[in-house]
Structure 1
Amino acid sequence: MKYNIRGENITVTPALREYIEKKIGKLERYFNDTPTTDVNVNLSVYNSEQRIEVTIPMTELLLRAEESHLDMYAAVDLVVNKLERQIRKHKTKVNRKFRQQEEAPKYVFAEVEKDEQHETDEEFEVVRNKRFDLKPMDSEEAILQMNMLGHNFFVFVNADTNSTNVVYRRKDGKYGLIEAE
């Protein structure tokens, strides 16, 4: 893995760079073959909040996690834990499909250790199903609807493009828009 570590309002010291590479490098144990990919790490500091965002694009899989903490080293540990959980969930899903379909999986994962087995056996259960008509509207109206409902996201048909879009509230209090291609 090649590391691209950049800092915003923070100097990336050699010790911090080495710590990040060491911690994220431990994720390689989940793969039989080391993935040849770029690891993008963005570090930022605003007021007293230290934030890390890690993106690892792979073929047909995107690992991404972000975490905030008062201590950057603690934030690194937390984000690596999130990435490990994502890998385990994906690995369980791939292995389950492999057993059901008896096809070769896209990713070849190393065997799960015994103490990690209980974490990967969790089921993805849908506990509620909703159906509703999507109304054509613009993104501003969708944000108003989302806020009136008290939700963190809202699905709508964009009146201009006639495609399904999603608006969502970001952690920083601003809004995001997801458009289908």
Structure 2
Amino acid sequence: MQIAVTFRHMDSSDALRSYAEEKLGRVHKYIDEPIDAQVVLTVEKKIRHNAEVTLVAKGITIKASAEVTDDMYAALDAVVDKIERQLKRYKEKLKSHTPRKGKSRDVTKSIIEAASIDDFSGEPRVVKTSSFSVKPMSVDEAVMQMDLMHKDFLVFTDDATEEVNVIYRRADGNYGLIVPQK
């Protein structure tokens, strides 16, 4: 496991760093794959201690944060407990779900910059492009993956139809599903 600890508005402490590494070592019982962890410890107004953890492992990203008013160690305990609860829930859902076999697809995402209204040059240009693999999964698994990553939408391949679908979070808290027409 690779753990990067960042200190904001506080002095770096080897004791806090080793405590964070020790606490995050407990997640190995849920995920056996190599894990990258980013820990950000922040002190605001000398009384609010905030700990944020982002785990990336086995194709999933899990984020959690906790804020405690008196102690950074308590904030670390709270955020690791949240991570463990999320991983337990994820592991239980994986046990009850049997994935179907399907083709994985590669998708490219492009961010296009539009010109300002005042000086319109005609053509937008691509600012950022990223590629990622879209694995086959059910709609329930896609919702779970989207919740674990704290994203507003997710592009995935439906394991039953092998079509690329998009699931998104609606303003009313429910989910929407975009399915292509044939």
TM-score, structure 2 normalization = 0.52
Match of 1:147 in 2: none
| Higher percent of residues as helix | 1
Alignment of 1:89-128 (within 5 A): 89-98=89-98
How far did 1:61 drift? 1.1
2-structure distance, mates of 1:59, 1:21: 19
CA-based RMSD of the aligned residues comes to: 2.2
Q: Which whole-Å deviations, capped at 9, do the CAs of 1:51-87 have from their partners, x for residues lacking one? A: 0100011233111100011210000000011001000
Contact 2:6 2:39 in 1 (8 A): yes
Match of 1:62 in 2: 61
Match of 1:176 in 2: none
Gaps of 5+ in 1: 104-163, 168-181
Following TM superposition, where does structure 1 have runs of at least 4 consecutive aligned residues deviating by more than 3 angstroms? Answer: 164-167
Gaps of 5+ in 2: 102-167, 172-182
Amino acid at match of 1:50: H
Alignment of 1:34-49 (within 5 A): 35-47=33-45, 48-49=47-48
Match of 2:24 in 1: 24
| Higher percent of residues as strand | 2
Match of 2:117 in 1: none
Identity over aligned pairs, percent: 31
TM-score, structure 1 normalization = 0.52
Contact 2:34 2:58 in 1 (8 A): no
Alignment of 1:1-181 (within 5 A): 1-31=1-31, 33=32, 35-47=33-45, 48-69=47-68, 70-98=70-98
1-structure distance, mates of 2:88, 2:170: 28
